[in-house]
Amino acid sequence: MTAALEGEILRIGRELADSFPSMARHPVKALDDKAMELASRDAELRAALFRFVDVVPACRSLEDLARHLSAFLREVDERPPSLDAAIRMADSKAGARALGLAATAGVRHMAHRFIVGETPHDALRLLADLWQRGVATSVDLLGEATITVEEADRYADRCRAALVALHEESAGWPQRPALESDSVGAIPRANLSVKVSALTPLLRPEAPEVGKRDAAVRLRGLMQLARDLGAHLHVDMETLDSREIVLGLVLELLAEDEFAQGPSAGLVVQAYLRDSSETVEQMLDWTREHTRAQPLVVRLVKGAYWDQEIIEARRHGWPAPVFEEKAQSDRNFEALTGRLLEARPLVRVAVASHNLRSVAHAIACNRALGTSDGDFELQVLRGLGDDLQHALARQGLRVRTYCPVGDLVAGMAYLVRRLLENTSNESFLAARMHDASVEELLAAP
C-alpha cells in the first residue's frame, strides 16, 4: 500500500463524508437511529426488541402482540421507566390493544426503512425515483423459507413476474449513461437478485448434487427469461453450507451454449471467508475458459452471516470458516477489491460496502489503475446505505442499491439481520452514530 494511495483514500473519504446529509434534516431517521442506539447499548434490551420484531408477524391479535412484548420486556433486568409503563399497559385490555397498535406501527416503520414494498409493483415508484436521482437498483424478493416444491415454484414465479415488471417499467426511465453502460458495453436497467435456497427445497450441504439439480431447473427458466428481456440476474451467496452448490450451479449453467449471449449474470464473493481468494481465482479461471458476450459480474461483500457461521462452527467444533476479527475481513476485502479490479475485463466488479474506508479504498484503487470511474460499481443496502448512496451518486459514481421487496412476515429474517448489523458494536454505522472522527473511520484496517 503506497502512501499516495492512502492519501487518496483519505481525500475521497472526506469528500464523501462531507456530502452526507446532516441528521437534523431527517427527523424520522434521527428517531430510528435513536432507537437503534438504545438497542446497541443494552444487550438485554436489544434481545427483547429483536425477539419481539421477530414474532410480530406470527401474532394473532393486538392482545397477543402485547402479551409477547411484555413477556420479552420482563426479561430485561434494568428497565427504563418507559418500559415498565409498557408492561403495565399490557395488563388491561384497552392498554394491551393500544400497546399492540403502537408496537406494530413501530415495527412496520422500522421494516419500511429496509424493505421497499410488499410487491415489486409497490416498489416501482421508489425504484424510478432512485434512478432519477442517479441510483441504480437490484431487487431482492424476500420470502418464507422454501420447504416444499410448491414454495420453490412460487418463488420462481415471483421472480419471473418481477423480471417482467422491472423490464417494462424501466424501459420508460430517462437516460442515465453513468448507470447503464461502461467501457465493455450496456448494463441492464432491470436487475434482480435471487437466492438459491429459495429456488429449491432440497438444499443440503452434505448432498450438494440433489439441491443443485433441483435448483437448476428453476434457475434455468429465470436465466432464459432474463436473457430474452435483457435483464441482469444476480445469484446471491448465503452461508458456507451452500457456497459449493451456488458456485457450481451458476457456473455450469452459464457455460451452456444457450447462455453464451446472455443474460448478464453475477455471483458474490464474501470477503469474511478465509478462503475467499480461492473462490475469486476459481471464478477468474472460469471466465478465462468461457467466453460470454457479457462478463460475469462479481459482487464483493464482507458477508452477512458472520454470527451464524461462527455459531455453527463452534457448536460442531469446526474451525471457523470466517475471519474472527473484523479488521481481517476488512483487509481481505481491500486485497480482493484490488485483485478483482485488476482482473477486468474478465469480470465486471461491484464493490458492496457501507464502510467509508472500504468504499474510498475501492474508488482510489480503481483510479490508481487508470481506469474510469464508470468501469466499476458500488453497491449498498436499502436502509443502511441511504446517505452513502446519494453521496456516491452526486460524485457521478455508479451506485446500485439492493432493495428487498416482500411483506412483513417474509421480511422478518432479513429485517432482524439488518437490525443486528446496525446495532453491533463493530458496525460502521454504529461508529458513525457515536461521532467517530472521519480520520478514525478512514484508518487502514
Partner 1 sequence: MKPFVNEPHAELRRAAVRESLLAALRGLEATLPWSVPLWIGDERRSGDDLLSSDPGNPERLVARCARATPQDVPAAVEVAQAGAREWGTRPAPDRGAALTGAANVMRRRRHELAALQVRECAKPWAEADADVCEAIDFLEYYAHQAIELEQGKSLVQAPGERNTMRYRPRGVCAVISPWNFPLAIPTGMVAGALAGGNAVILKPAEQSPASGLACVEALREGGVPPAAVQLLPGEGDVGAALVQDRGVATIAFTGSRPVGLEIVVTAARTPAGQRHVKRVVSEMGGKNCVIVDSDADLDDAVPAIVTSAFTYGGQKCSAAARVLVHDAIADELIKRMRGAVDLLQVGQADDFATQVPPLIERAAQERVLDYQERAEHEGRLLRQPGPVSSPGWFVPPALAVDLPRASSVLGDEIFGPLLAVERVAGVAEACDVVDGLDYALTGGLFSRNPETVDYVVSRTPVGNLYVNRQITGAMVGRQPFGGNRLSGTGFKAGGPDYVLQFTDPQVVTEDTVRHGLVV
Nearer to partner 1, 242 or 287 (CB): 242
Report if residue 202 touches partner 1, rule: CB under 8 A: yes
106: cell is 413501530
Angle between helix 243-254 and 208-229 (nearest 10): 40
Give the single-character DSSP code of 295.
P
Q: Which stretch binds partner 1 (CB under 8 A): 312-320, 325-333, 342-350, 433-441?
A: 312-320
> Least CB distance from residue 343 to partner 1, whole Å?
26
Residue type, 110: M
Look up residue 181 and give its DSSP letter.
B
Q: Report the alpha-carbon distance of residue 92 to residue 111 in Å, rounded.
A: 28
Q: Using CB under 8 A, which of the segments 60-68, 188-196, 227-235, 383-391 binds partner 1? A: 60-68
The verdict on 310 binding partner 1 (CB under 8 A) reads: no
CB of 212 to partner 1, least distance (A): 11
Instruction: Give the CB-side neighbour count of residue 9, counting CA atoms within 13 A.
Output: 24
For cell 421472480, the residue is 159
Q: Which of 64, 118, 375, 407 binds partner 1 (CB under 8 A)?
A: 64
Residue 55 as a binder of partner 1 (CB under 8 A): the answer is yes
Assess 148 for contact with partner 1 (CB under 8 A): yes
Prior bond of 345 cis (ω within 30°): yes
Alpha-carbon torsion angle 202, 207, 210, 216, nearest 10 = 80
Q: Tell which one of 1, 58, 171, 184 touches partner 1 (CB under 8 A).
A: 58
Contacting residue, 91, 157, 168, 209, with partner 1 by CB under 8 A: 209
Q: What is the Cα–Cα distance from 22 to 2, expressed in whole angstroms? A: 33
Residue 47 touching partner 1 (CB under 8 A): no
Binder to partner 1 among 12, 59, 352, 430 (CB under 8 A)? 59
- In the set 35, 178, 210, 416, which binds partner 1 (CB under 8 A)? 210
- According to the binding rule CB under 8 A, does residue 204 interact with partner 1? yes
Residues that contact partner 1, how many (by CB under 8 A): 36
CB neighbour burial string for 99-137, b if at least 16 within 10 angstroms, e if fewer:
bbebbbebbeebbebbbbbeebeebbebbbebbeebbbb
User: In this complex, which beta carbon is closest to partner 1, that of residue 87 or of residue 233?
Assistant: 87
How many whole angstroms separate alpha carbon 398 and alpha carbon 376? 7
DSSP 313-335: HHHHTPPPSB-SSHHHHHHHHHH
How far apart are CB 100 and partner 1 at their closest, in Å? 14
Question: Counting contacts by CB under 8 A, is residue 205 touching partner 1?
Answer: yes
CB atoms within 10 A of CB 406: 24
Residue among 239 and 395 whose Cβ is closer to partner 1: 239
Helix H or strand E segment including 194 = strand 191-194
CB of residue 417 to partner 1, shortest distance in Å: 14
Backbone φ, ψ for residue 350 (5° rounding): -125, 120
433 is a contact residue toward partner 1 (CB under 8 A): no
Binding site for partner 1 (CB under 8 A): 51, 54-55, 58-60, 64, 67-68, 71-72, 74-75, 144-145, 147-151, 201-202, 204-210, 240-241, 244, 316-318, 413
